Amino acid sequence: MTRTCLAVILAAGDSTRMKSSMSKVLHPIAGLPMIAHVMQAVRGAEMSDAVLVVGRDAERVTQAGSVDGMAVSSVLQTERRGTGHAVLMAREAIARGYDDLLVTYGDVPLVRPETFLAARAKLAEGADIVVIGFRTANPTGYGRLLVENGELVAIREEKEASDEERKVTWCNSGLMAISGARALEWLEKIDNKNAKGEYYLTDLVEIARAAGGRVVAVDAPEAELAGCNTRAELALLEASWQQRQRHELMLAGVSMIAPETVFLAHDTVLEQDVLVESNVVFGPGVTVESGAVIHAFSHLEGAHVAAGATVGPFARLRPGANLGEGSKVGNFCEVKKAEIGAGAKVNHLTYIGDAVIGAGSNIGAGTITCNYDGVNKHETRIGENAFIGSNSSLVAPVSIGDGAYVASGSVITTDVPENALAFGRARQEVKPGRATAIRERALAVKAAKKAGH
């Protein structure tokens, strides 16, 4: 789209009903603040300039609303005098002259760029104001969109609507696109002659029509335009976002055995032919390449899983975990800031942190990389095709060479050369009959305690 557009995002609410110590629009959906979701949709609708109308937590909201590829500024609204007043907080930016002006809210995180583009397309076709509406089976409480001959003639609030008008199920979302050439002129004509003494953006419909302007409405899904005022509504938005994203991933070739139990982050990347079993949680920063399998009850964050690798069940990948092609991290394992080479196996009950594991190596059950000395973290390096026996502790910094063996139960504190065998445990001793004596002594102590009672 060659037309210029300014987006004005209203994000100055006090968030009273959220019962929170921070602004409502900072609360996350899929690990990303609501305001950031809105800004991504704005950027996706080919807008290069935006003004955030902020109040509480102004600096944090502005920071969360800043996105690459857009010039984002903010203005502080110290008084709450209605939506029309809020939009005019951006008067200076509006006066610069844009083809289009888009008004949206910071608490509608499910809105899509396509909805904004549909409204802008109507402006390009000659409309002066475009109201974004939705159809609902339960319109109670919403302003109704009244249309005649294809044009929007009024937005009627429920308390002012007639019985016939209340039957209308096309409702106002509050989102609006306005012709930039007339926007400031019409916004400044909004008055506060109403019961609340506030300036309502919806009055623009009648103002524009009185000036000969053309006003229309476009339709969008109800769920996409849902706002958020309470923690309960936040949970509903999260559920809706998750359902939508799972559906899109499955259409793109991802298999989910029980999709309703899989939880995604805003930036989760799952490639075609990935299989995700039940009860898996993806935190931010996860990429899983084609053909990988994420088994049940695993938690991944800040991790990269290469093609054909397997994770879990009951595995945890923490930030910096990088699994090579065809590698395996098995049940009850944790990997943090570590490279797991192609075909390497970390099978059971193991912790690998601050480490490099070479291709084809096998890490036995119960192995620990002892990476922390109480102050600093240290690295463990294991070469290719090495074998680390079960229940080994590798005290970093330490290196295990290519093809080396570490005997089960070892504590390794010095480097092991390639193809060497390392023992790091006390020599076993056998005392014939000693077990009987120990057992008899223990039974005697127990009998004495019982007699004492």
Q: Say whether 155 sits in a helix, a strand or coil.
A: strand
Q: 349 near 334, Cβ under 8 Å?
A: no
pLDDT of residue 157: 85
Q: Give 31-55 pLDDT, tens digit per residue.
A: 999 999 999 999 999 998 999 999 9
Structure confidence at residue 1 (pLDDT): 65
Q: Which CATH class is domain 231-422?
A: mainly beta
Instruction: Please compute the mean of the pLDDT values over residues 355-360 and round it to a whole number.
Output: 98
Mean pLDDT of 276-290: 98
- pLDDT of 427 strictly over 90: no
Going by C-alpha positions, the residue among 312, 319, 387 that lies closest to residue 354 is: 319
pLDDT tens, residue by residue, 115-126? 999 999 999 999
- Per-residue pLDDT of 57-76, as tens digits, reads 999 999 999 988 889 999 99
What would the pLDDT profile of 117-174 be if each residue is shown by its tens digit?
999 999 999 999 999 999 999 999 899 999 999 899 999 888 888 889 999 999 999 9
d(CA 315, CA 304): 14
Are the C-beta atoms of 415 and 398 separated by less than 8 Å? yes
Looking at residue 68, its pLDDT comes to 87
Report the amino acid identity of residue 336.
K
**Helices and strands (DSSP H and E) totals, the chain:** 9, 35
Q: What is the CA radius of gyration of the chain?
A: 31
Which residue is associated with the tokens 């909805």?
115
Q: How far, in Å, CA of 251 to CA of 165, rounded?
A: 40
Give the helix ranges, DSSP H, for 70-216.
83-88, 91-94, 113-124, 180-187, 204-210
Determine the Cα–Cα distance for residues 234 and 81; give it in Å rounded to an integer. 25
pLDDT at 8: 97
**Residue 453 annotated among the catalytic residues of the structure:** no
Strand partners, 83: none
Is residue 392 over pLDDT 90?
yes
| Catalytically annotated residue among 266, 348, 378, 453 | 348
Q: How confident is the model at residue 453, as a pLDDT?
A: 67
Q: Please give the C-alpha separations between residue 387 and each of 308, 315, 343, 367, 428, in angstroms, as whole numbers.
A: 22, 21, 13, 11, 22
Q: Which fold, 5-225?
A: Spore Coat Polysaccharide Biosynthesis Protein SpsA; Chain A (3.90.550)
- Report, as an integer, the average pLDDT of 92-117: 96
Q: What is the pLDDT of residues 289-320, one digit of tens each?
A: 999 999 999 999 999 999 999 999 999 999 99
Vertex 172: Cα angle to 171 and 175 (nearest 5): 145
Q: How much is the pTM?
A: 0.90
Domain boundaries, the chain: 5-225, 231-422
CA distance 112 to 27: 19
Cβ atoms within 10 Å, residue 217: 25
Q: What does the pLDDT look like over 170-211, one tens digit per residue?
A: 999 999 999 999 999 999 999 988 878 889 999 999 999 999
Distance, CA of 89 to chain centre? 30
